[in-house]
Structure 1
Amino acid sequence: MKSLKFYGKQNLSFEESKKPFVKKKDDVIIKVKAVGICGSDISRYAKLGPYVEGTIFGHEFSGEVVDVGSEVTNVKVGDRVAGCPTFYCGTCESCRNGDLARCEKLHVMGAYHPGAYAEYAKLPAENVIPIPDSVDFDTAAMVEPSSVVVHGFYRTRMQPGAEVAVMGCGNIGLLAIQWAKIFGAKKVFAIDIDDEKLAIAKEVGADVLVNSIEKPAHEQILEHTNGSGVDVAVESAGSPITSAQVLALSKKGGEVVFMGIPYADINIQRFYFEKIVRNELTVLGSWNAISASFPGKEWSTSVHYMSTGQINVKPIISHRLQLREGPETFDKIINKDGFFGKVLFYPELG
């Protein structure tokens, strides 16, 4: 089968691999219909390299079941599904407490297990989520990032009528805008330095667009909130700069949720750090997308709101490509050669 294998930093190869087969009683073999590039894939490609040299990369995908183990009951051959790519140990203290996202050995497919940049992928049955006919394969390929976002919102105290600021309008930020509305936000501020991204933010439901190049984001937010700030600020850019700036967006007693991963040291100026103390902020980290009972309500909720159209991923998708275009596409992204939103590959096209 065709696949993308990850050999080292900036070393991704399009090549033939062995097709997975049923080995365990709970195995499910899935023909991959659509698979997306995650921001974490870009960081690992550019800076960190693979966990295991030569592993098939990728983890955000949807597809059709083509074979199942003898004890699989939740899906059958022909079913349309999304894949939860996350593996947990089940034995560490966090797992025993039901805090699966905090598992000591948490990892996703494409790390130690073959990933989804391939014509076929294999997962245990509990990692396979059926999707209704109303959710197309492109949308289903984004159930995983959607679940990452709602996992973070579930951690907040957010109430209907809240004002929310989303800092960073990449794929996660654009989903966060939509989830903020689902959670009842009366106003969502989208913050970025790229007007093209801000235009997409408007299309998916942002009420106020803030270009932070023109004036510091917190100054613009204060102008729009009568000097108060927002109830919840979401950091979704994963930038060392915005990871500090986001602390100045929330009102006194407000919340800050970190969903982005900066992959660099964070130097926080006194002005921003003091906001935590003086405003008595609640600062929340959010990691991955799973909870008990596995894979968690994040997944069923994502599928539901995708089926109603309240989570709309179509404006977020910028490229639909053949798998063989993977290596050059990763290079273009890290070299900033053009605008890239969510990139989807279609392995069956070659």
Structure 2
Amino acid sequence: MKPPGLPPQLVSLARSIFEDCTQCRACQVRCAFLREHGTPKDLAGQLLGGSTGIARAFECSLCGLCHATCPMSFPLPEFFLAMRRAALENQVASLAPYRSLLNYEAVGASALFRLVALPPGGDTVLFPGCTFPGAHPRTALALYRHLRGADPAIGLVLGCCFKPSHDLGRRNFFESRFGTLRATLLARGVRTVITACPNCFKVFNLYGDGLAVRSVLAVLEETPLQGRTPVRGAAIMHTPCPLRFEKEEREIALRLACESGLEVERTRQGGTLAPCCGEGGTVGALRPDYADAWTKDVEKSAKGRVIIAVCAGCVKFISRRTPVVHLLDLIFFPQAALDGTLPKPKGIAAYVHRLRLKWRVWLENRPRPTRG
């Protein structure tokens, strides 16, 4: 019997987990959410028994570490995301705690911030995401200039991939808005999207039907900067959750980090067992203690070494507790990145820098008047 109000996909996932979970508790070792609320079997059983506690899934980071540690390889992130969706559809969860994030998403997708700049004959664009261009403005511009230098036909698309809404369970909203973005890109002749954000990379990979997606790190490995000054020091890599199971992307990031001159040590922090930075799933809006526990785990693993991250969100979150640099900053401005002298705009200043990037690129790509 299907519990009332629950979609078939969620019920199917719950039954599979309930029937086959051995309760080995491997997933609970490093997850405060599962330690507090029970094993996946416990949670699935409660759901199948008619429990109204599906909204507790908003306390899960959706980071995928549980899936990485599960000997049965249960798709637990999909299970908890399905719970979030069902909670919204059944009106047992509120989006009120996430208004700030959803406003941020809406602004990034607004006409004021949107841009599609594609040179004639081009079919490839850089999609830097929302956070990176505002928080790392010098590097964002340098990255765009470098890519255009290697291929003048590369364009730039500024906008939002709507991953915040996706992860909050706003399925219909996400499908509509991302679907519009995808259709716009295809209609403009875009066929390949180069992402500078791991979250955007994951969204385009999963939902960008008709669009090939590449990470900017993979492109930079093929078109390296010349004359980089090596730096020295000890560092470790931090793997963002969207790249947890993307081994090739992790290896590319590691190679680029090592080319900086830093001694980059391989640790679990840089692989499938990496902890979430704390930002995942917007857990901090409900359970800041869970988010802080993740960030403390990251800090503990660093042991005083510099952390290299490839996600602007991770950099922002981790920097509250321990030194961290963005790999793209390290590539384009190595010494300044390590010294902490690169501008790091916050609040309104970050929005201003996003607009400045849009204005610069628009001016470069606007049609030139012909002279008779």
For normalisation by structure 2, the TM-score amounts to: 0.28
For normalisation by structure 1, the TM-score amounts to: 0.29
Q: Which has the higher strand share?
A: 1
Q: Which has the higher helix share?
A: 2
- Greater CA radius of gyration, 1 or 2? 2
